[in-house]
Amino acid sequence: MNRKEINKENNGVLADHEPQRLNETITGTLTSRIETRQDKAGFKAYYYGFFKFPDQETEIPVVFKGEKPTIPKATQVQLKGTWAKSNGHRNSFTCHN
């Protein structure tokens, strides 16, 4: 990740987080275990956890679509995916596998 893209006002999240930015890679720590949720229609399960950049205080939600990953809490990870808005206002990162 290019540090020039970091915006402190956005708690360390890339300032340009438009959904069309595919294949971004982020590196940091998974700070929670991965949980399972159903989509609003109740059909597809998705998985989520929280992620933290090494030099930031704020955690961001990470959504995993597809198979449930087996990543233990506190693991250093490099994730590939897209930036999005979670719940319409909070930045999140989505990984597709």
Q: Tell me if 59 is assigned to some domain.
A: yes
Q: Is the pLDDT of residue 75 over 60?
A: yes
Provide the mean pLDDT of the chain: 79
More confident residue, 19 or 3: 19
- The predicted pLDDT at position 27 comes to 95
- The predicted pLDDT at position 97 comes to 73
Task: State the pTM of this model.
Answer: 0.70
CATH code where residue 63 lies: 2.40.50.140
- Both tokens of 50, joined, read 């929280």
Domain ranges, residue 77? 26-96
- The predicted pLDDT at position 74 comes to 95
Taking residues 10-14, report their average pLDDT: 42
Contact 12, 58 (CB under 8 A): yes
Quote the number of domains for the chain. Answer: 1
Q: Tell me if 88 is assigned to some domain.
A: yes
